[in-house]
Amino acid sequence: MPDVYEPAAFKARVDDVLSRFVADETDELIAIDPELAPVAAQLEAAAADGKRLRAAFCYWGWRAAGQPDSDALLRAAASMELVHAAAVVHDDLIDDSPLRHGRATAHVALRPAVRGRPAATGAARSLAMLVGDLLMALAGQLFASSGLPAAFLARARSLWSALARELIAGECLEILRTGAPPDTSASLQVIRYKTAKYTVEQPLLIGGALAGAGQRMRSGLSAYGLPLGEAFQLRDDLLGLFGDPSRTGKAGLDDLRTHRPTALLAETWRLARAPERERLRLLLGRRDLDTEALETVRDMMRRLKAPDRIEQMITLRVEEATHALHGLHLPRQANHALTVLARSATDRHH
């Protein structure tokens, strides 16, 4: 791979690893019984999407520690994308989201496979849950079979466990806090554990650990990765309400219908006066919300300048991340790549 980070070329390499690996696994699944074909199709669909940011952070954590390009490392980094695919399937299931990347989510797409069966909707949801479980298992398999020496893999074993534990903790906290009175600090904790750590910090640390990075390097990678991961999710929350669904591929009403504990909603609540809070209270969590209700909430947020506040939070975190990066004195190629990634992860329109 060229020493200058080229996102499209890197994505193509990761896509190739994942398509080959998942195709082999789905062949094995269908060989058990052809009736499993719809499940196999959802495995392939879930693994096919994404900008491959998590793999990129893992790869450049490795390069930051002075290691050269490696196909084995790329396979290990690609496993981060299967963790993400698993999280997406489970997240859509938990939130009952109908769309992802402009397509039906797994639990919706699997309904035809069980049409006419007793409790068909529940059966489709169960199949989707198992798709997510299998994706997480496949992530571990791809990582372990990457071709890296066993001694290298052993360095990252505890981090791999932490990644899964913290991701699940964040998902659980979001469920436990959904519908609760909005609170910015509680929302930021959900962001940190549900998204920030497994999107940026943990892939970086795993890549660094595989490369044998020392404690100073690992601390610096965390100081860069954690605020950047939070900025990434804060941007996602803004796009969830204010983005164009034709570009984001998500339904704009999801966060309101599920009353998710987002920082955007928490800041709106903090800035709102009693009449505005009462209006929000009547709208949040209703499954029958329409586009008129969405515009009502958007207008309120704009009047209160809540989106501006989230933009400020994003800017501060990106500045914190880049400041930490400058203090690491990384190889030129790694410094350039992580600078580009900081921009691309947070300056998004979809």
| Diameter over CA atoms, the chain | 62
**pLDDT tens digits, 285-312:** 777 778 888 888 899 999 999 999 999 9
Which residue pairs, CB below 8 angstroms and at least 24 apart, start in 259-262? 259/178, 259/179, 259/284, 259/285, 260/95, 260/174, 260/178, 261/174, 261/177, 261/178, 261/180, 261/182, 261/183, 261/186, 261/187, 261/190, 262/187, 262/237
- What mean pLDDT comes out for the span 99-119? 92
How far apart are alpha carbons 82 and 89 in whole angstroms? 11
Burial profile 152-181: b = 16 or more Cβ within 10 angstroms, e = fewer: bbebbeebbebbbebbbbbbebbeebeeee
Could you tell me the pLDDT band of residue 165, with boundaries at 50, 70 and 90? Answer: very high
**pLDDT tens digits, 167-212:** 999 999 999 998 888 999 999 999 999 999 999 999 999 999 999 9
Task: Quote the pTM value.
Answer: 0.94
Could you tell me the pLDDT band of residue 249, with boundaries at 50, 70 and 90? Answer: low
How far apart are alpha carbons 93 and 128 in whole angstroms? 7
Quick check: 250 pLDDT over 70? Answer: no
H helix intervals, the chain? 7-32, 37-48, 53-64, 71-95, 106-109, 120-144, 150-155, 157-177, 184-191, 202-210, 215-242, 245-248, 254-258, 263-271, 274-283, 291-304, 306-326, 332-346
Could you tell me the pLDDT band of residue 23, with boundaries at 50, 70 and 90? Answer: very high
Could you tell me the pLDDT band of residue 350, with boundaries at 50, 70 and 90? Answer: low
Domains observed in the chain: 7-346 (1.10.600.10)
How far apart are alpha carbons 287 and 254 in whole angstroms? 9
- What mean pLDDT comes out for the span 243-249? 68
